Amino acid sequence: MPLPVAASLIYHHLNRHIGNVAQDSAYDAALNSTALALSQVCDIYCFIEGKLQRLPGEELALGAFEERGDLYRTTSGRVYRSLWMRRIDVMDAMVILKKAHEAIDVAKKGAKQV
């Protein structure tokens, strides 16, 4: 599954908010952040020298996602395009990130009560 599709699916599942996706730069940033979250819990793949390969963890340690998660730029300047995830990993990530999202919401509510 293309990473931008996975990021969009996860984002909408967790937030239930669509907004004006065609013109909203905050939406682009949200999908880039979601792609980052996905990269922390799942393997990300791209074609390297004609073969679909997993991006090395050390490459994902520092850098930034761009273009709604379709591009990853490392701090050294290397660019990976057309990023992918396995469908089963997306489903597993949905469960993990939903639990994390709920824990954050509980913590926010607890902080407001103090």
Q: What is the pLDDT of residues 85-114, one digit of tens each?
A: 999 999 999 899 888 878 877 788 777 776
Residue 22: pLDDT band with limits 50, 70, 90? low
pLDDT at 62: 86
pTM over 0.75: yes
pLDDT at 67: 93
User: How far apart are alpha carbons 69 and 58 in whole angstroms?
Assistant: 18
User: How far apart are alpha carbons 77 and 98 in whole angstroms?
Assistant: 32
pLDDT at 21: 59
Give the residue with greater pLDDT, 107 vs 45: 45
- Show the CA angle centred on residue 34, arms to residues 23 and 30, nearest 5°: 25
Indicate the residue type of 77. Answer: G
Residues 26/68, Cβ–Cβ less than 8 Å: no
Residue 61: pLDDT band with limits 50, 70, 90? confident
